[in-house]
């Protein structure tokens, strides 16, 4: 084997690839050859590093220097400085905004510093297409242990003792799920993996499948042994081509090495699995719907009971685990339940991966111990608001099934129990941070649009109910809200939650209920005063310039597409209301926060029409 | 093309639950799934055309309309929503003068919206063919589209 | 390819150890080659190549090699710094291929600094 | 047995029953819109939610299993509110067009809205954009009324095995439609009409005919096939307006096929005979009953006087009641003095009967419609049971869905082959060879019940005969690979329980009695008792006809071969009741010749049939719906039919006409009423339930029919058509809308070779004649074989066929020529 003195671990996750990894990689390769370093320095493409917003990112070993926002133009300089002369190249390092200095080491960057990597243990550290590199990191040792030294009961006990809970949403104890299926008697059982990550704003499963596909496969082998299954299916969204490719490659390698197939590792246990591509239906994240989809039917959920542990795929006992859950299995088996419980709380043990997105500075994937305060995640890891001038308003957790947690609850520790109390849910771990410019009614409407669109249509409350609620929210955001709408929405929400067939319908009203709970004033303002104070609902606002703040810089006037802003240079400007179309451009543009948003005003609509015609 | 489809059907024939993979392959081959193709699949898999059509119509991945040479997929996930992907979308619609689900007159572009692409870190995101464009703004729309014309 | 056994897993892991020592840390020895313009001009590249060659030959997995800029003593280039775990770093100067091979086997492998080539004991960090 | 409490009432339930099933069984109604006992629980409408003590969540009664000790409340204020909301949501887009909806008055949604609904809705103007309605014959779907319970889609796909309707789209915009919104093409069974809980799917024939509350409903037995389903007829002002199935009633338990649901309007046909007719030269003259009967009386008397009573023959009917047939044969034997009476069953069912008797030593062989259930393997030989006996077919499909392995040997693709686990696409008419081959495999592999089989009469002969049926040879004959033959045999041999089924039609094309014997041999070889072999009697009263004495009973009695095909003109007069030999019997030219040669022909029927046109006297009989009586279904179950409407014109029940004729002939039958007849029948017919079984092997060799030749390259196979049964159904206006003429089904490749286009006319020629038919190019039929139905009188299919002297009707070979133009 060739020896390299340095490894460049370039992130080849979807995010970084989209930001230019392939081009940068080619440039580095070329430059290394130019400098004669190609035999000393090895480039490894890894899965998602997690710090997606800073991509393309690269980690240089052995020094552990973290480079971000790489560009082709900077490559010659980088290679010359760092790899030839050994002077880490400060220009491409992460900068701490407050202190204005570069942070060379990855683990000194706050985004990484507060994380503990279990699920993401191999992220950015191994080549996901190399089974050897996975094995080097203790890969398949847990499977070896489970297959040769442990009985199904031992495995189930270990997982139960560890307190592993499903990371897909509801947090059902994984060991218990396995136990049910293990006890079912059948000629065939199925071990299934849910890679149909659907919550908008969550991408940890994609990341794991891309960065560490073997960890999922190993988890499935162990689970298969626990329940007595010889066949597995990984159901992956077709929208994740890279994940599919990496998984397929990993499966092929496993088959070739005998880690899948008959008599794995000489243990006498046989298990094989295949990938099944989802075809784009959010509801297929629901386990019974996913099974219907694998059966080639419309992905419509089935009533439970019978539970999948008794009658699942093809009416055979089946276990469906989420990607993140499965990725935790191997280290837990290898290190034991106690190790697992070192992190987290009594009821929510271990760590959890979150996808931080929205109006936050450090967008990306983070893994923290359960029980970490929300505040730590948002401010210490996430770096606070992207726009420092804007205040934090709310964080949405749990996607369309979840809710919005307001600022006053930001100190809660993130555990299944504590999050549920707020009206949100842990969900798969999407955290969408919203600043004060976010209209909460519109946010609720966004989620309802999603659920109404993704409702399979099988049960009445979800099919019609989500549509009715969406219509009501649309009315409210467009100025047709009526007295009593809030109460009707709450009432209907409760009925839908109680009567819907599956989790989609049972949770679809959550975004409405939680926004009403914490931001009722916004609903009231929308309905009664016809006022959206964020200016997002263009029918419910008007913009005005406060003369005492305006510096007359003219930026707003230049931004206005209607030419509705007038004023002399260096003197306060004003907005011609009849022309204003409430596009919010001036508000976004003003550096002095001199634009104020007020309730909708009566205006002569012909003015805009006339103006449009002139153009 | 029909031979290729026949090969796909033969490959999956008799394998339970194969309608979705077969349809996916057919869509790759033909580009979309017109009724004639669905009928061939139904016959080949010993099921009814209504059953196949109901499956096709359920999943957003399947389309019964031909796409443009370049298919633009706009992510409508939460992160993209929060980052106002709507504005990017409407700019694209304005630019191409078509609505979501339509094809431009010259058959060059079609627009689709998709649920989360899982590239939230780059929000707002759009994908043209296989290429992902992150941190989109309405301003960037014309230059990105120009790459394809 | 033949089916893996548990022993094979362990072998693969061993084989990959060097790579992961590099990535995960845990190295016993770190050799820094000073690669400023001066160093390169004086032949630091040859030194680096020889060093990697020696490491490969010896089959050691816990030694990592890195580079740094000019150490400030341009006249004594090519130079390296050898740091063994929990020991003070030692700087060597005026190196040649033969010297570096000797230093490697004596100091890095056996733990005995080669005093005849040593310039300084104790040094600044690499950056 | 589980004990639970529902609404403070202690009830019991079976293990595996759902809460809803347990409740309904105990007369506790829980609202539901998407439940049907024939379908898997769906859990869609959410109206059946109930509260279970100690459980926070609600339980959907339709899908939650009843558990011991459950304390359930089905009607609490909380539940009422939830149901109110669900209904409110459903009614947002369901048009309130009850005044013009045929479902009103018996609409589940309407009833529930009345029970739970509030007059006002909190939601306004959220109506679904009107999706297009579904078009097609007989069945109409008004999309806006649909509440997406999915029952129609599921009954069509999961129960009927058809899948003509699909849920198209997702979520709120979902609609129920045939694929791509095309015209509905299906079995037209109409099960979707019955199952729809709203007015979304309606029968077109019933549309705007009557408000449901004006309908009077009466149960009777279906006049078509041997299943003997119970029809619930909707009547108003003396007219049958519709027919539907009702759960829990009769052998069909709510299921009906298209014939029973739509086909009974044949009784309203304008071609019904209304008055007795006497031929005068080339035309008929309407006469009174007195004149007709005395005309017949004197003619028959004269024939008897001149040629002897034995020169008078009669043909009974598989569609007439037991009473009609009994009286006819009694009339023949007592009044005329001739035992020469037979029926079309002689060409089919009687052969099965004979085989049955030879193999099992029994005189009667009732089938059991439930027999497919609980069997590990179902083996169907050359029989399209879903077409001949749709309800029996449904049970086979359901059993196979329940896990039974279904092996179907058939030359063409059928619903059963589509749903089979193994389809053996054999050459038509080679079922005997296949079964012989399978028996050989079973013997060679020692999979037979040796101890019981070897000692039976005929075993040695069977074994000797089977010697030549090696898999290789059988493969050559049947076109099925040796492996498949062996695999099928082994599957059958190793199964723990089995059913072997064929329809009578399988006996009609060459195979005759032999296929029944072969199947019986197979059954006995496997050590099974006769109930394993299921060969259902064909028509509504085939079984009863056979047992009421309409067949030769004494050696001197002549049967159908002599009556219609015999070469000597032994018969001078014939009395035909409810049969149309010219159309439905093979070799129609021969029959025409025979009938024309008679001195005197009486035809008693409900229509002016092709046969009636040749008669000297035509008597108008009352149809099935216009008289009381009984049918005996294929299970041997005697079921009543009722007079539900007034007889057409001056028509009379068959038995009454004959009774009157006997009276006119001054030889009273001794029966004056139905009760008399029934009492007498009971006495004369011994009960057949506890017959002894004597097993015998009857080796049956495979005999090749006519070989296709260069001149006649195609095999012609007569097959039944789902929407028709015999010829009566062709007079149904409703069914006429679906299939109105005989279509020649021909394989795509063959059609190409012959230059035949779909829907174009072809000339079909056999050695016996030629006819013109419309061609239907089909992927379902194999190359080298064409299929035709015999139902349609105008098609004159039997011009092409012939009858061998042994009573078998060999496969005909034909040539197909495309005709010019259309």
Residue D23 pLDDT greater than 70, yes or no = yes
How large is the average pLDDT for residues D709-714?
90
CA dist list (Å): A427 to A353, A355, A381, C12, C18: 11, 11, 20, 38, 40
Q: Does residue A606 form part of some domain?
A: no
Distance CA A334, CA A311 (A): 31
Residue D119 pLDDT greater than 70, yes or no = no
CA dist list (Å): D757 to D388, D752, D785: 28, 8, 16
Cross-chain residue pair A265–C6, CB shorter than 8 Å: yes
% of chain D beyond a pLDDT of 90: 70
Cross-chain residue pair A460–D42, CB shorter than 8 Å: no
pLDDT digits (tens, 9 = 90+) for D397-406: 999 999 999 9
Q: Are residues A138 and A249 in the same domain?
A: yes
Q: Does residue A304 form part of some domain?
A: yes
Q: What is the pLDDT of residue C78?
A: 81
Q: Are residues A94 and A176 in the same domain?
A: no
Q: Does residue A119 form part of some domain?
A: no
Largest distance between two CA atoms of chain B: 52
Residue C121 pLDDT greater than 80, yes or no = no
Q: Is B35 on the interface with D (CB under 8 A)?
A: yes
Higher pLDDT, A296 or C93: A296
Residue D126 pLDDT greater than 60, yes or no = no
The CATH number linked to A212 is 3.40.50.11540
Structural domain boundaries in chain B:
2-58, 70-146
Asked if residue D363 lies in contact with residue D694, where contact means CB atoms within 8 angstroms, the answer is no
% of chain A beyond a pLDDT of 90: 59
Across A365-374, C76-85, D241-250, least confident range: C76-85
Residue D379 pLDDT greater than 60, yes or no = yes
Q: What is the pLDDT of residue A1?
A: 42
Q: Is B63 on the interface with A (CB under 8 A)?
A: no
Report residue D237 as tokens.
Answer: 């002002």
Report ipTM (2 d.p.). Answer: 0.90
Q: What is the pLDDT of residue A489?
A: 96
Distance CA B27, CA D204 (A): 38
Q: What is the pLDDT of residue A98?
A: 67
SS3 A149: coil
Find, in chain A, the residue whose alpha carbon is nearest to that of D49.
A499
How large is the average pLDDT for residues A166-185?
91
Q: What is the pLDDT of residue A608?
A: 63
Q: Which domains does chain C have, with CATH numbers?
A: 27-121 (3.40.30.10)
Q: What is the pLDDT of residue A70?
A: 92
Q: Are residues A375 and A398 in the same domain?
A: yes
Find, in chain B, the residue whose alpha carbon is nearest to that of D181.
B50
**Could you give phi then psi for residue C81, rounded to 5 degrees?**
-120, 130
Q: Report which of D348, D329, D364, D357 is spatially closest to residue D551, judged by C-alpha positions.
A: D329
Q: Are residues A197 and A331 in the same domain?
A: yes
Distance CA B62, CA A89 (A): 48
Asked if residue B111 lies in contact with residue B92, where contact means CB atoms within 8 angstroms, the answer is yes
% of chain A beyond a pLDDT of 70: 97
Cross-chain residue pair D85–A500, CB shorter than 8 Å: no
**Interaxial angle between packed helices A213-227 and A141-148, expressed in degrees from 0 to 180 and rounded to the nearest 10:** 10
Cross-chain residue pair A86–C69, CB shorter than 8 Å: yes
Distance CA D90, CA D388 (A): 40
SS (H, E, C) A247-294: HHHHHHHHHHHCCCECCHHHCCCCEEEEEEECCCCHHHHCHHHHHHHH
CA dist list (Å): D158 to A120, A304, D218, D393, D414: 45, 20, 29, 13, 16
Q: What is the pLDDT of residue D805?
A: 62
Q: Are residues A97 and A201 in the same domain?
A: no
How large is the average pLDDT for residues D475-498?
95
Residue D713 pLDDT greater than 80, yes or no = yes
Report residue A252 as tokens.
Answer: 């092929």
Q: Are residues A516 and A559 in the same domain?
A: no
Q: What is the pLDDT of residue A36?
A: 80
Based on its alpha-carbon atoms, the radius of gyration of chain C, rounded to whole angstroms, reads 16
How large is the average pLDDT for residues D670-686?
86
Q: Are residues A142 and A28 in the same domain?
A: no
Q: What is the pLDDT of residue D130?
A: 65
pLDDT digits (tens, 9 = 90+) for B135-145: 888 888 999 99
Distance CA A360, CA A366 (A): 13
- List chain B residues with CB under 8 Å of A399: 78
* Residue numbers of D between 70 and 99 with CB closer than 8 Å to A: 81-82, 85-86, 89-90, 92-93
Q: Is B90 on the interface with D (CB under 8 A)?
A: no
Bridge pairing between strands D714-718 and D785-788: parallel
Based on its alpha-carbon atoms, the radius of gyration of chain B, rounded to whole angstroms, reads 17
pLDDT digits (tens, 9 = 90+) for A121-145: 888 788 889 999 899 889 999 999 9
How large is the average pLDDT for residues D280-291?
94
Q: What is the pLDDT of residue A524?
A: 96
Residue C127 pLDDT greater than 60, yes or no = no
Q: What is the pLDDT of residue D629?
A: 96
Which residue is associated with the tokens 């929407």?
A: D723
How large is the average pLDDT for residues A357-366?
87
Q: Give the best-scoring range by mean pLDDT among A410-419, A557-566, B13-22, D753-762.
A: A410-419
Report residue A313 as tokens.
Answer: 């795929």
For A396, the closest of B78, B83, B115 (CB atoms) is B78
Q: Does residue A536 form part of some domain?
A: no
Q: Does residue A290 form part of some domain?
A: yes
CATH number of B2-58: 1.10.10
Asked if residue D583 lies in contact with residue D613, where contact means CB atoms within 8 angstroms, the answer is no
Q: What is the pLDDT of residue A285?
A: 87
Cross-chain residue pair D170–A495, CB shorter than 8 Å: no
Q: Report which of D535, D621, D608 is spatially closest to residue D577, judged by C-alpha positions.
A: D621
Q: Does residue A125 form part of some domain?
A: no
Q: Is B118 on the interface with D (CB under 8 A)?
A: no
Q: What is the pLDDT of residue C123?
A: 47
Distance CA D637, CA D633 (A): 5
Distance CA D721, CA D717 (A): 12
Q: For residue D407, give the H/E element and its range.
A: strand D405-409
The CATH number linked to A574 is 3.30.70.20
Q: What is the pLDDT of residue A610?
A: 65
Q: Report which of B29, B49, B30, B32 is spatially closest to residue B41, judged by C-alpha positions.
A: B49
Q: What is the pLDDT of residue D129?
A: 59
Distance CA C50, CA C44 (A): 10
Task: Report how far Cα D428 is from the mean position of its chain's Cα atoms.
Answer: 22
Q: Are residues A494 and A571 in the same domain?
A: no
Residue D809 pLDDT greater than 70, yes or no = no
pLDDT digits (tens, 9 = 90+) for D335-369: 999 999 999 888 888 888 889 999 999 888 899 99
Q: Give the best-scoring range by mean pLDDT among A93-102, C22-31, C104-113, D480-489.
A: D480-489
Bridge pairing between strands D166-168 and D49-52: unpaired
Q: What is the pLDDT of residue D822?
A: 44
Higher pLDDT, D30 or A4: D30
Q: What is the pLDDT of residue D506?
A: 61
Higher pLDDT, C123 or D184: D184
Higher pLDDT, A245 or A363: A245
| Side-chain-facing half-sphere of D819: CA atoms under 13 Å | 15
* Sequence-separated (6 or more) residues with CB below 8 Å from residue A192: A232, A233, A234, A235, A290, A291, A294, A312, A313, A318, A319, A320, A321
Which residue is associated with the tokens 């070329």?
A: A30
Task: Report how far Cα D157 is from the mean position of its chain's Cα atoms.
Answer: 20
Distance CA B21, CA A127 (A): 29
Residue B51 pLDDT greater than 90, yes or no = yes
Residue B66 pLDDT greater than 80, yes or no = yes
Q: Which residues partner with D763 through β-bridges?
A: D772, D817
* Sequence-separated (6 or more) residues with CB below 8 Å from residue A440: A393, A394, A404, A515, A518, A519, A522, A523
**Interaxial angle between packed helices A440-454 and A510-524, expressed in degrees from 0 to 180 and rounded to the nearest 10:** 150
pLDDT digits (tens, 9 = 90+) for A26-64: 999 999 998 888 888 889 888 888 888 788 999 988 888
- List chain D residues with CB under 8 Å of B15: none
Which residue is associated with the tokens 């005997």?
A: D432
Q: Which residues of A touch C (CB under 8 A)?
A: 1-7, 9, 36, 40, 61-64, 83-88, 104, 125, 132-133, 135-141, 144, 148, 256-259, 263, 265-266
For D45, the closest of A452, A457, A460 (CB atoms) is A460
Q: Are residues A465 and A426 in the same domain?
A: no
- List chain D residues with CB under 8 Å of B52: 179
| Side-chain-facing half-sphere of A219: CA atoms under 13 Å | 32
pLDDT digits (tens, 9 = 90+) for B102-111: 899 888 999 9
Q: What is the pLDDT of residue B33?
A: 95
Instruction: Quote the mean pLDDT of chain D.
Output: 90
Residue A417 pLDDT greater than 60, yes or no = yes
* Number of compact structural domains in chain A: 5
Instruction: Quote the mean pLDDT of chain A.
Output: 90
Q: Which chains touch C (3 or more CB pairs under 8 A)?
A: A
Asked if residue A350 lies in contact with residue A328, where contact means CB atoms within 8 angstroms, the answer is yes
pLDDT digits (tens, 9 = 90+) for D33-47: 999 999 999 999 999
With bands split at pLDDT 50, 70 and 90, how would you rate the model's confidence at A163?
A: very high
Among candidate residues A485, A506, A529, the one where a domain is terminated: A529
Across A315-329, A511-525, C15-29, D33-47, least confident range: C15-29
* Residue numbers of C between 67 and 126 with CB closer than 8 Å to A: 67-70, 126
* Sequence-separated (6 or more) residues with CB below 8 Å from residue D176: D134, D141, D143, D146, D148, D150, D152, D153, D165, D166, D167, D168, D200
Higher pLDDT, B120 or D646: D646
- Name the CATH architecture for the domain at B70-146: 3-Layer(aba) Sandwich (3.40)
pLDDT digits (tens, 9 = 90+) for D779-791: 889 999 999 888 8
Q: What is the pLDDT of residue A481?
A: 93
- List chain B residues with CB under 8 Å of D779: 43
Q: Are residues A465 and A583 in the same domain?
A: no
Secondary-structure breakdown of chain B: helix, strand, coil percentages, each rounded to the nearest 5 = 50, 15, 40
Q: Which long-range contacts does D51-56 make (Cβ < 8 Å, 24+ apart)?
A: D51/D76, D51/D78, D51/D79
Among candidate residues A392, A420, A438, the one where a domain is terminated: A438
With bands split at pLDDT 50, 70 and 90, how would you rate the model's confidence at A99?
A: low
Q: Is B38 on the interface with A (CB under 8 A)?
A: no
Asked if the bond preceding A32 is cis, omega within 30° of 0, the reply is: no
Cross-chain residue pair B57–D163, CB shorter than 8 Å: no
Cross-chain residue pair A457–D170, CB shorter than 8 Å: yes
Q: Are residues A192 and A281 in the same domain?
A: yes
Domain that holds residue A197: 131-340
pLDDT digits (tens, 9 = 90+) for D552-591: 999 989 998 889 987 766 799 999 999 999 988 888 888 9
Higher pLDDT, D459 or A62: D459
Q: Are residues A150 and A11 in the same domain?
A: no
C13 CB neighbour count, 10 Å cutoff: 18
Q: What is the pLDDT of residue D776?
A: 92
With bands split at pLDDT 50, 70 and 90, how would you rate the model's confidence at D30?
A: very high
Residue D127 pLDDT greater than 70, yes or no = no
Higher pLDDT, A495 or C101: A495
| Domain B2-58 and domain B70-146 have a common topology | no
Q: What is the pLDDT of residue A209?
A: 92
Which residue is associated with the tokens 């400085």?
A: A81
Q: Which residues partner with C47 through β-bridges?
A: none
């Amino acid at each position: 084997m060739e020896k390299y003195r340095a490894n460049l671990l370039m992130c080849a996750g979807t995010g970084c690839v989209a930001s230019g990894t392939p081009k940068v990689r080619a440039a580095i390769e070329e430059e290394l050859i130019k400098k004669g370093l190609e035999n000393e320095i090895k480039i490894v493409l890894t899965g998602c590093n997690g710090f997606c917003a800073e991509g393309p990112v690269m980690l240089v070993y052995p020094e552990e220097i973290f480079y971000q926002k790489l560009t082709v133009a900077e490559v010659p300089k980088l290679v010359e400085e760092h790899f030839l002369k050994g002077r880490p190249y400060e220009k491409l390092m992460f900068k701490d905004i407050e202190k204005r200095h570069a942070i060379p080491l990855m683990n000194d960057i706050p985004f990484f510093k507060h994380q503990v990597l279990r699920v993401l243990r191999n992220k950015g550290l191994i080549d996901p297409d190399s089974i050897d590199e996975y094995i080097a990191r203790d890969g398949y040792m847990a499977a070896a242990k489970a297959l040769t030294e442990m009985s199904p009961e031992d495995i189930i006990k270990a997982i139960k003792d560890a307190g592993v809970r499903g990371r897909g949403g509801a947090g059902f104890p994984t060991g218990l799920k396995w136990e049910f299926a293990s006890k079912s008697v059948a000629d065939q059982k199925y071990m299934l993996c849910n890679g149909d990550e659907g919550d908008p704003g969550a991408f940890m499963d994609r990341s794991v499948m891309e960065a560490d596909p073997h960890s999922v496969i190993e988890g499935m082998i162990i689970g298969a042994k626990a329940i007595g299954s010889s066949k597995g299916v990984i159901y992956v969204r077709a929208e994740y081509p890279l994940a599919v490719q990496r998984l397929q490659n990993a499966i092929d390698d496993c088959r070739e090495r005998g880690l899948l197939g008959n008599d794995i590792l000489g243990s006498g246990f046989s298990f094989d699995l295949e990938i099944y591509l989802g075809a784009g239906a959010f509801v297929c994240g629901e386990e019974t719907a996913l099974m219907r989809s694998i059966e080639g039917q419309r992905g419509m959920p089935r009533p439970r009971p019978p539970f999948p542990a008794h009658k699942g795929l093809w009416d055979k006992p089946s276990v469906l685990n989420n990607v993140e859950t499965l990725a935790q299995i191997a280290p837990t088996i290898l290190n034991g339940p106690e190790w697992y419980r070192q992190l987290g709380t009594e009821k929510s043990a271990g760590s959890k991966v979150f996808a931080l997105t929205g109006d936050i500075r450090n967008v990306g994937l983070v893994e923290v111990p359960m029980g970490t305060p929300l505040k730590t995640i948002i401010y210490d890891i996430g770096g606070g608001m992207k726009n420092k001038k804007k205040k934090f308003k709310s964080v949405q957790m749990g996607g369309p099934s979840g809710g919005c947690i307001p600022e006053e609850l930001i100190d809660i520790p993130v555990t299944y129990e504590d999050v549920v109390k707020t009206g949100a849910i842990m969900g798969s771990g999407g955290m969408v941070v919203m600043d004060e410019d976010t209209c909460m009614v519109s946010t609720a409407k966004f989620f309802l649009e999603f659920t109404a669109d993704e409702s399979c249509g099988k049960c009445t409350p979800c099919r019609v109910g989500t549509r009715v609620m969406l219509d009501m929210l649309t009315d409210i955001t467009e100025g047709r809200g009526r007295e009593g709408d809030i109460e009707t929405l709450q009432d209907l929400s409760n009925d839908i939650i109680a009567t819907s067939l599956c989790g989609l319908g049972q949770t679809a009203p959550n975004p409405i209920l939680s926004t009403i709970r914490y931001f009722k004033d916004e609903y009231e303002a929308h309905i009664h005063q016809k006022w959206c104070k964020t200016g997002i609902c263009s029918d419910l606002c008007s913009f005005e310039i406060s003369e005492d703040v305006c510096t007359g810089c003219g930026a707003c006037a230049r931004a206005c597409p209607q030419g509705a802003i007038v004023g002399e240079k260096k003197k306060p400007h004003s907005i011609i209301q009849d022309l204003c179309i409430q596009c919010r451009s001036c508000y976004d543009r003003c550096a002095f926060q001199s634009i104020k948003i007020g309730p909708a005003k009566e205006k002569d609509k012909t003015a805009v029409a006339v103006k449009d015609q002139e153009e | 093309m029909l031979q290729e489809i026949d090969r796909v059907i033969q490959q999956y024939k008799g394998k339970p639950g194969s309608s979705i993979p077969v349809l996916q392959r057919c869509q790759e081959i033909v580009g979309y799934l017109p009724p004639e193709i669905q009928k061939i699949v139904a016959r080949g898999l010993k099921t009814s055309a209504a059953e196949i059509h109901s499956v096709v119509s359920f999943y957003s991945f399947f389309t019964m309309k031909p796409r443009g040479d370049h298919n633009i997929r706009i992510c409508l996930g939460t992160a993209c929503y929060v980052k106002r992907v709507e504005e990017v979308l409407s700019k694209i619609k304005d630019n191409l003068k078509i609505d979501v689900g339509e094809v431009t007159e010259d058959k060059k572009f079609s627009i689709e919206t998709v649920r989360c692409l899982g590239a939230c870190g780059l929000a707002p995101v759009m994908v043209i063919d296989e290429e992902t464009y992150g941190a989109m703004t309405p301003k960037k729309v014309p230059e990105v589209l120009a790459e394809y014309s | 390819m033949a089916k893996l056994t548990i022993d094979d897993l362990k072998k693969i892991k061993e084989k990959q150890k060097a790579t992961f020592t590099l990535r995960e840390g845990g190295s016993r020895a770190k050799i820094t080659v000073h690669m400023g313009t001066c160093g390169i001009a004086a032949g630091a590249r040859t030194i680096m190549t020889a060093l990697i060659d020696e490491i490969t030959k010896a089959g050691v997995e816990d030694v990592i090699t890195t580079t740094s800029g000019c150490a400030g003593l341009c006249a004594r280039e090519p130079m390296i710094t050898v740091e063994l775990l929990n020991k003070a770093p030692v700087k060597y100067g005026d190196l040649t291929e033969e010297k570096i091979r000797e230093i490697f086997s004596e100091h890095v492998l056996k733990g005995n600094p080669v005093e005849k080539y040593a310039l300084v004991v104790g040094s600044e960090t690499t950056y | 047995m589980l004990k639970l409490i529902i609404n403070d009432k202690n009830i019991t339930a079976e293990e595996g029953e759902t809460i809803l099933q347990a409740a309904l069984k105990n007369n506790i109604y829980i609202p539901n819109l998407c439940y049907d006992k024939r379908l898997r629980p769906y859990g869609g409408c959410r109206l059946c939610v109930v509260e279970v003590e100690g459980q926070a969540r609600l339980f959907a009664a339709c899908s939650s299993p009843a558990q011991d000790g459950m304390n359930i409340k089905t009607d609490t204020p909380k539940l009422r509110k939830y149901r109110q909301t669900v209904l409110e949501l459903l009614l947002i887009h369901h048009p309130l067009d009850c005044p013009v909806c045929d479902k009103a008055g018996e609409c589940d949604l309407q009833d529930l809205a009345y029970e739970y609904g509030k007059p006002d809705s909190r939601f306004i103007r959220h109506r679904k954009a009107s999706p297009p309605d579904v078009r097609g014959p007989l069945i109409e779907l008004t999309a806006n009324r649909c509440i997406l319970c999915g029952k129609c889609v599921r009954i069509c796909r999961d129960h009927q095995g058809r899948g003509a309707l699909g849920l198209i789209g997702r979520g709120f915009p979902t609609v129920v439609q045939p694929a791509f919104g095309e015209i509905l093409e299906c079995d037209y069974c109409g099960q979707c009409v019955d199952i729809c809980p709203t007015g979304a799917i309606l029968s077109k024939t019933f549309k705007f005919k009557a408000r449901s509350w004006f309908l009077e409903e009466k149960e009777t037995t279906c006049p078509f096939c041997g299943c003997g389903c119970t029809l619930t007829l909707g009547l108003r002002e003396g007219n049958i307006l519709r027919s539907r199935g009702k759960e829990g009633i009769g052998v069909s338990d709510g299921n009906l096929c298209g014939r029973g649901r739509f086909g009974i309007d044949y009784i309203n046909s304008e071609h019904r005979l209304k008055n007795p007719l006497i031929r005068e030269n080339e035309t008929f003259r309407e006469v009174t009953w007195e004149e007709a009967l005395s005309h017949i009386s004197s003619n028959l008397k004269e024939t008897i006087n001149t040629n002897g009573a034995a020169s008078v023959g009669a043909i009974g009917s598989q569609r007439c009641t037991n009473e009609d047939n009994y009286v006819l044969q009694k009339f023949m034997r007592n009044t005329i003095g001739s035992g020469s009476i037979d029926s079309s069953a002689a060409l089919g069912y009687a052969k099965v009967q004979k085989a049955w008797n030879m193999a099992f030593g029994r005189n009667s062989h009732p089938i059991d419609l439930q027999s497919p259930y609980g069997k590990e393997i179902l083996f169907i030989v050359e029989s399209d049971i879903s077409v001949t006996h749709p309800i029996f077919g449904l049970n086979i499909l359901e059993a196979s869905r329940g896990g039974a392995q279904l092996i179907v040997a058939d030359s063409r693709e059928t619903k059963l082959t589509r749903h089979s686990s193994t389809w053996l696409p054999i050459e038509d008419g080679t079922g005997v060879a296949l079964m012989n081959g399978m028996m050989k495999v079973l013997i060679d592999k020692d999979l037979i019940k040796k101890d019981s089989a070897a000692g039976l009469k005929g075993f040695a002969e069977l074994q000797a005969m089977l010697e030549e049926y090696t898999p290789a040879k059988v493969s050559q004959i049947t076109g099925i690979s040796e492996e498949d033959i062996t695999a099928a045999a082994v599957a059958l041999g190793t199964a723990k329980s089995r059913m072997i089924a064929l329809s009578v039609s399988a006996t009609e094309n060459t195979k005759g009695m032999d296929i029944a014997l072969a199947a019986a041999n197979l059954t006995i070889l496997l050590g099974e008792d006769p109930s394993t072999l299921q060969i259902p009697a064909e028509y509504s009263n085939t079984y009863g006809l056979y047992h009421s004495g309409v067949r030769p009973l004494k050696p001197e009695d002549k049967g159908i071969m002599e009556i219609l095909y015999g070469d000597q003109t032994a018969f001078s007069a014939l009395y035909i009741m409810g049969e149309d030999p010219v159309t439905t019997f093979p070799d129609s030219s021969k029959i025409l010749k025979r009938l024309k040669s008679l001195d005197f022909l009486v035809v008693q029927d409900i229509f002016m049939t092709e046969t009636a046109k040749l008669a000297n006297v035509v008597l108008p009989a009352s149809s099935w719906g216009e008289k009381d009586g009984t049918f005996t279904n294929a299970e041997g179950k005697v079921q009543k039919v009722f007079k539900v409407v007034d007889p057409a014109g001056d028509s009379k029940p068959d038995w009454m006409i004959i009774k009157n004729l006997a009276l006119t002939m001054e030889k009273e039958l001794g029966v004056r009423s139905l009760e008399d007849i029934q009492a007498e029948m009971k006495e004369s017919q011994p009960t057949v339930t506890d017959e002894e079984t004597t097993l015998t092997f009857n080796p049956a060799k495979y005999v090749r029919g006519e070989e296709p030749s260069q001149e006649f390259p195609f095999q012609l196979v007569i097959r039944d058509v789902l929407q028709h049964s015999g010829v009566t159904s062709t007079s149904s206006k409703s069914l006429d809308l679906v299939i109105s003429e005989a279509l020649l089904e021909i394989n795509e490749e063959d059609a190409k070779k012959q230059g035949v286009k779909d829907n174009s006319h072809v000339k079909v020629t056999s050695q016996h004649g030629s006819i013109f038919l419309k061609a239907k190019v089909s992927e379902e039929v194999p190359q080298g074989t064409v299929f035709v139905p015999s139902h349609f009188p105008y098609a004159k299919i039997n011009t092409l066929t012939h009858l061998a002297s042994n009573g078998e009707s060999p496969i005909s070979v034909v040539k197909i020529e495309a005709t010019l133009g259309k």
